Amino acid sequence: MEKYETPRKTHAARAPLATLADRYADVTQRIAKAAARAKRAPDDVMLIAISKTYDEAAIRPLLDLGHTMFGENRVQEAQAKWPDLKADYPDVALHLVGQLQSNKAEDAVALFDAIHSVDRPSLVDALAKARDKAGRLPLLFVQVNIGDEPQKGGCAIADLPALLEQAKAKDLPIAGLMCVPPVGTEAAPYFALLRKLAHDHGFKLLSMGMSDDFETAVEIGATHVRVGSALFGARG
């Protein structure tokens, strides 16, 4: 793994913020500050608000604040709540960040604007067929099993070149890479490794970083961070 010096911590522990508006302002400010430390423009980092398990009533206030990029883990949950929300907020971009079963590929292509969890040959085939049927294709990220964890989804690092070749053969453009580092470990080395893999394969988009580590991800090069509890509060 690429050696990486852990970014210096630049913030103290934060007290919980009472309102969604306060939490949203806090997260966006932290992204901007992390981008500045890395000499990046804040607009280069897309904030995906992870709204899994939250109902429409919890999501609408964030939409009313003007945020338009949201993420869900499951196709069925998204189908239950987002068609009505999208009708009311047509600028919404919906991202699938959880594992995708091949038999749900057609539904996912119809509903989502981006899919972050392409990770195996059967799913590449299913997405290509769904694309041909629907006449549209979401933005696609390959999820890399960056920590080589058998219980976690994602393409093994050694299998990445072959998966990318298969996608190319199917005329299925891949826009970037995504990862979820092992829980309870320092995330920075894994983010740095994903950045290296993206560079080696010519990708500019990096989906990495969640509520506990998105600032580190931004400093290392994330273009998309996936933030849930830091925005909506702790899940019950």
Q: How far apart are CA 208 and CA 194, in angstroms?
A: 9
pLDDT at residue 142 tops 90: yes
- Look up residue 114 and give its amino acid: A
Q: Is there a domain that residue 55 lies in?
A: yes
Q: How far apart are CA 139 and CA 136, in angstroms?
A: 10
Q: Is there a domain that residue 9 lies in?
A: no
Distance of CA 91 to CAs 62, 88, 135, 150, 192, Å? 13, 9, 20, 38, 32
Residue ranges making up the domain that contains 82: 20-230
Q: Is there a domain that residue 2 lies in?
A: no
Q: How far apart are CA 4 and CA 13, in angstroms?
A: 24
81 vs 18: which has the higher pLDDT: 81
Task: Provide, rounded to the nearest whole percent, the portion of the chain with pLDDT above 70.
Answer: 92
Q: Is 153 helix (H, G, I), strand (E, B) or coil?
A: coil
Question: Please, what sign has the CA dihedral across residues 136, 53, 121, 47?
Answer: positive
Q: What pLDDT shows up at residue 233?
A: 84
Q: Is there a domain that residue 138 lies in?
A: yes
Q: Is there a domain that residue 37 lies in?
A: yes
pLDDT at residue 45 tops 50: yes
- Domain harbouring 37, CATH code: 3.20.20.10
- Helix pair 20-37, 56-64: axis angle to 10 deg: 60
pLDDT at residue 210 tops 50: yes
Whole-model pTM: value is 0.92
Q: Is there a domain that residue 26 lies in?
A: yes
Question: Quick one: tokens of 73?
Answer: 């883990």
Q: Is there a domain that residue 12 lies in?
A: no
Q: Number of structural domains, the chain?
A: 1
Which candidate, 90, 87, 117, places its Cα nearest to that of 105?
117
Q: Is there a domain that residue 6 lies in?
A: no
Q: How far apart are CA 54 and CA 94, in angstroms?
A: 14
Q: What pLDDT shows up at residue 137?
A: 97
Q: How far apart are CA 39 and CA 214, in angstroms?
A: 16
Which candidate, 177, 158, 154, 174, places its Cα nearest to that of 166?
174
pLDDT at residue 10 tops 90: no
The residue whose two tokens read 């891949």 is: 174
50 vs 233: which has the higher pLDDT: 50
Q: What pLDDT shows up at residue 18?
A: 77
